[in-house]
Structure 1
Amino acid sequence: MIIGIHGLENKPPVDEKMRWWKAALVEGMRRNCGFDAEDIPFEFVYWADLRYDRPILADDNKEPYTPDPGTGPFPRQDPDESQPVNAVLERVYEGLDWVQSKTGVTPVDDVILRTRFDDLWHYQSETGFAQEVRSRLCERIKAASGQRVLLVAHSMGSIIAYDALRMLEHDAPSLRVDHFVTLGSPLGLAEVKLKVAEEHREVRAPDNVGRWTNLADRRDIATIAGALADDYGPNRHGTGVRDRAVMNAYRRPNGDPNSHKSYGYLRTPELSEIALAFTTGRPAGT
């Protein structure tokens, strides 16, 4: 079973959003791996309705899912290719992160969360909202008990998923997630790590995951804190985070790039290979 959970901001209706996530995943596996994945078992955890009165309807949706017009595999990130602007930002944030983590005062992250991650701000400050969101994912994971599970979490969804997995360590210790994949995750932000330490004590991989892969496009502002393996230690089984740089090739309908978009992450060759290996058992260099 592949379970997805979406990220920030309001979304289209749940059935539509679920179809689009699966369509992006299937498109990536077809183009990157030559594998028809239409029948992959896929479920979706939707929580936008807990924050917004009504979903985004077709006439108001500025970025509906559409298949990419190209052919062949989607591009990979060249490990030798420099991204100087982002490298500078990462170095600057690294220093600020150290100060914020040591002092517990997070003015930089406060600005980032309030201006770019408003839902995350509410998640961290409203206990009832956080409990409802986590409960939805926990129940879905429990319902998949006995099945192998690939959990794919985008953006703020990765924080929800992390918190839910840490909760399940105590509430349902027999449950396991075979592979936890985070996409465009802000788990490295100082304020997020402070919240993790406050609630869960140890900043580490959840004990109930067999693998954790973090896919990040360095142009994505959500990943400005850099590699998660630098901050999240291994769990008691020795499983830690494997960070992989990817290229999110998604473009908005007007042609502008959007390196944080879920559909772009879902179509990356790296995620396609993980999903292929998970669903078929075929090795794919993951």
Structure 2
Amino acid sequence: MERSRVIIGIHGLANKPPADEKTRWWKEAIAEGLSRNEGVADPRFAFEFVYWADLRYDAPLTKDENREPYRPYDGIGPMTGGDEAPALTAKEVLAPVYAGIDIVEEVTGITPVDDVILESRFDDLWHYHAEQSFARAVRRRLIERLEAFRDHRILLVAHSMGSVIAYDALMQLEQEDSSVKVEHLVTAAAPLGLAKVKLKFEAEHGALRVPNNVLAWTNLTDSNDIVSIMGKLETDYGPNNAGMRVADRRVVNAYLRPDATSNHHKSYGYLRTPEFSRVACGYVDPPFVPSKPQTASTCMSNAVEFKRT
């Protein structure tokens, strides 16, 4: 008997709008991508959202405070894919420079560059590493949601700092309850390549690798997203016991604020990319049968891969 499917999302850095609004916007962004990129006229899927901003902030963002709401893209048709991105971006020019710094920081265990980045840009992540009670509370919210859907085929989508929480929670679950499995983990805009983050992981969980309770891991990064400055993770994170490796995918995050300025880090932009939609189409209920041959091949091959694992 086919198991039920569910998409579980967890947000990233900074304060957020109210939980019900943020949940609705994530689901609408995923649905928009499925419709435009995969041709699903009325995408229906079970969706759960892990909201943790209330553990750090006294009140959610009001409508006036929120500069980056969800809004559907203009136009029709598929969004731009990662294979259509510019050949070289500013971030990609800087990445080799950071790579050298990253090696030095990992070897010495002294991370002055990452400390500045975390304190100035990733304040929540800094507190997550410094305050154990906060870290435990955030992880527990995700773990409890995963445990509640243990009998489902789970697509876990972790954005930004959510990817750090997801890795920690999955490694913890691997030890506490190995019966909980995530069929597909998607990390988007993940700061998992930062030396500081990797050193924290290694100190708590051992060698960097794909968690054994993950059957597939896709990492999405926009070349202009400074948060995921290291981009590819496949060289940092080894395979799990089943031989599963990280699959890095370049994407184009075309999110625009209401004032028409871009934010290549925004979750809604990642959730509407063709690369994410190809994964998400395997979790539409009832099962989606694409009408376009080129789309059908990717969706159907994904479904076959999931069943094989």
Establish whether TM, by shorter chain, passes 0.5.
yes
Count of matched residue pairs: 286
Q: Which residue is 2:61 aligned to? A: 56
Q: Which amino acid aligns with 1:133?
A: V
Shift of 1:281: 6.6
Question: 1:21 aligned to 2:23?
Answer: no
Alignment of 1:131 onto 2:120 = no
Q: CA RMSD in A?
A: 1.3
Residue in 2 that maps onto 1:154: 159
1:141 offset after TM fit, Å?
A: 0.2
Q: Equivalent residue for 2:99?
A: 94
1:82 matched residue in structure 2: 87
When the two structures are superposed, what TM-score results if normalisation uses the length of structure 2?
Answer: 0.90
With over 3 angstroms needed to count, the CA separation of the structure-2 counterparts of 1:80 and 1:40, relative to structure 1, is closer
Map of 1:78-227 to 2, 5 A cutoff? 78=83, 81-227=86-232
In the alignment, which residue of structure 2 is the partner of 1:265?
A: 270
Shift of 1:278: 3.5
TM-score (norm 1): 0.97
Deviations 1:212-235 (A, max 9, x none): 000100110111113101100001
Cα deviation for residue 70 of structure 1 reads 2.0
Give the CA deviation at 1:84: 4.2
The residue identity in structure 1 corresponding to 2:141 is R
Query: Does the 8 Å CA contact 1:26/1:36 hold for their aligned counterparts?
Result: no
Instruction: Extract unaligned runs of 5+ from structure 1.
Output: none
Amino acid in the other structure paired with 2:233: L
| Alpha-carbon distance in structure 1 between the residues aligned to 2:9 and 2:92 | 30
Distance 2:9 2:86 in 1: 30
Query: CA shift at 1:257, angstroms?
Result: 1.2
Shift >3 Å, 4+ stretches: none
**Contact 1:77–1:247 (8 Å) recurs in 2:** yes
- Distance of 1:226 and 1:27 partners within structure 2: 25
**What is the percent sequence identity of the aligned residues?**
56
Which piece of structure 1 moves more, 248-257 or 137-146? 248-257
Unaligned regions of 5+ residues in structure 2, if any? 1-5, 290-297, 303-309
Is this contact kept in 1: 2:10–2:157, CA < 8 A? yes
